[in-house]
Chain A
């Protein structure tokens, strides 16, 4: 069983997500039959899966949930918030248990309380709905099959025999282990009706079909087929422990019992027998199986993320070796090698694209949990909020997706907590009572943009100034000097957004600074705008993938550094004469725009030589927030695709270094983390 566990957990999680998501939809629109059906199906499926795995507690809770949902589906139960809350509690319980299974193979969660609440609720509703509820208790039938046939049946049988048909009496017993014996019986009756007529049944056909018999039942059928055929037809029905067929003859004005066929089946099927009956196709079985398994599994498989990461790393190394090969071809001027490298280049690029696609997961993967979250948050803060999600189908690298979940949670919580006003406040301000929060994902070229926007009260720059002073983050004088946008940007300061009174909504000790640093770690950017009384908009810009990216290699003195291309706007060649000092700052003019220049050497703290001694140098133009400036380097070495290797120990935390990459010839090159490197101190 354990081999199925991971699959169980993964699929159970998917179903739970569907359940949560759809119930939110259903609550909004209780007339939505499709939503309720979908919820019911997911609960039902979960129950079946749990039963198959023998996770009885999950099965029990899912079953109870399903029962309750079924009442709603059949309009026997009225939907209200109490009901929805209760069902959410069920889903929560199921979720806890699934996670328990995932962690330690067993559940310790006590479902008794939830079940009790469900039953209490059902009890109350039952009283309300007693009139339209009919509980049909199956009557136990104690009738025993016997051989006595009444006169009327006898006459019917004689008539059938006269018309040339054969009459058989069937003595049937159903396996004790058979589940749904009514269906087994129904299946047999259907078979018999296909080959003839049932002229007699004891107990009667209706009762047999309803399973209202003990071990078995008696039938008399008339048919034009011979006994062998009848027997064969009966044999196609499984789980019958007794199936006697007796022909009834009419001799000397009397019904007489003819030859008997009796077959008592063993309960458990003999596996060897199946093997034998299939032996014609079991030759080369092993060979065939292995071929089949490759063919069929290619439709869809689940792969451990770690394995994909290893794969990705290997491809990364391959890409790097390719770079080295190219270098050799150039150095030694080998045309044939250069041609081969072109092909190699195409193949590695394709390989890279493929693995990249495999790692991509639709945004819905994390978006799906938000409707439930917003619903709960809105409810607990007495606000009316409508969450609008777009772009859940847009795909993003799994590694990035895993990281941005928490920042998004924080931004959304913030919107609920500080953005959207209470219905009465909104009404006063001339807004609809219901606030809107938008969560929108878009893909533009190699970046994903995620926007969290609300139409709430917005952020007041004055409030930000006051807050910063109160928390001692800025002096009164400093704060007053800030323009409005700068005041708004105080939001990103550590310690500012963590509220004093920790609300259950946004106060978890995680501030906006964490959102910012997470984004930066991902080579992304977060920006925001806010208009008082109109709302706030947070925009997250993320790279599609972090695994392999293009970098520009630059030289300073004898050292080489890599700068991620995503940070770079352009590069320009400069001579000494291009540089002018304005207000003590080195600048140059590009296309009539003044561009401040900064020495990368200074920023990195390498002060031994200065660029001013060089006749030629280069500026790498980058953007930090809304400002552009040029980083002066000695040399542009070239572009290369690199993978970042994380370093352990103190070197890892070096400021401004995102990690290291290893070039084809084995050199270790630091990769610059510009977001971190160009902090306030260096920007001024």
Chain B
């Protein structure tokens, strides 16, 4: 089975870009969430192998979602998708249990490398 990925981003556009990078490599996009609250629910429902998590989102930001997901599943593998200038936020996310990060705008190999590394 392909590794199950959940994409969390408030823009369809970003989720679409990630989908187009991951799908051809055999990853299965099991869920998409557009904010932190939705991410927590869908994580429980689909139990993905890895999550890509945007930081700035409505309702609940990425970091809160990371904290919640890691609290429920300490082995959760979460990669933060971040923009330059958000170093402190990414640090906070890693502190909370995120396992990697990718800086926007990203290229496909960078995303794939990060995911491969974090999946181990």
Contacts and interface: CB of A to CB of B under 8 A. Distances in A.
B71 interface: no
B11 A269 contact: no
B113 A52 contact: no
Interface in B18-33: 19, 23-26, 28-29, 32
Interface string B58-88: 1000000000000000000000001110010
Given A52-B105, A235-B117, A281-B26, A45 B94 contact: no
B101 A51 contact: no
A274 interface: yes
Interface in A268-283: 268-269, 271, 274-275, 277-278, 281-282
Nearest to B77: A236
A187 interface: yes
Nearest to B95: A190
A44 interface: yes
Interface in A30-47: 38, 40-41, 44-45, 47
Given A45-B11, A180-B87, A237 B117 contact: yes
Contacts of A211: 87
B56 interface: yes
A187 B100 contact: yes
B10 A45 contact: yes
A274 B110 CA distance: 12
A285 interface: yes
Contacts of B10: 41, 45
Contact of B56 (A11, A41, A180, A237): A41
B114 A238 contact: yes
A274 B25 contact: yes
Contact of A47 (B83, B94, B95, B114): B83
A281 B2 contact: yes
A288 interface: yes
A190 B116 contact: no
A11 B91 CA distance: 29
Contacts of B19: 296
Given A271-B112, A289-B23, A41 B57 contact: yes
B28 A292 contact: yes
Q: Which of B10, B13, B16, B17 has the most CB of A within 10 A?
A: B13
Nearest to B104: A48
B40 interface: no
Contact of B116 (A7, A40, A51, A274): A274
A231 to B, nearest CB: 12
Interface in A199-245: 209, 211, 232, 235-239
B45 interface: no
A300 B12 contact: yes
Interface string B32-62: 1000000000000000000000001110000
Contact of A236 (B83, B84, B105, B118): B118
Contacts of A163: none
A47 to B, nearest CB: 7
Contact of A52 (B17, B94, B112, B120): B17
Contacts of A179: 84, 103
A182 interface: yes
Given A281-B2, A292-B28, A48 B83 contact: yes
A268 B109 contact: yes
Given A7-B12, A187-B94, A238-B100, A278 B2 contact: yes
Nearest to A210: B87
A235 B120 CA distance: 8
A293 B23 contact: yes
A184 B88 CA distance: 12
B90 interface: yes
A274 B23 contact: no
Given A52-B104, A186-B94, A38 B118 contact: no
Contacts of A44: 56, 83
Q: Which 10 A-B pairs have the closest CB atoms?
A: A179-B103, A269-B113, A238-B117, A51-B105, A52-B105, A281-B2, A269-B109, A278-B26, A48-B104, A282-B26
27 contacts: A4-B16, A4-B17, A8-B13, A45-B10, A45-B56, A52-B13, A52-B104, A180-B103, A186-B94, A187-B99, A187-B100, A187-B101, A190-B95, A211-B87, A232-B120, A235-B120, A238-B114, A268-B109, A269-B110, A274-B116, A278-B3, A278-B25, A278-B26, A281-B2, A288-B26, A289-B23, A296-B19
Interface of A: 4, 7-8, 11, 38, 40-41, 44-45, 47-49, 51-52, 54, 179-180, 182-183, 186-187, 190, 209, 211, 232, 235-239, 268-269, 271, 274-275, 277-278, 281-282, 285, 288-289, 292-293, 296, 299-300
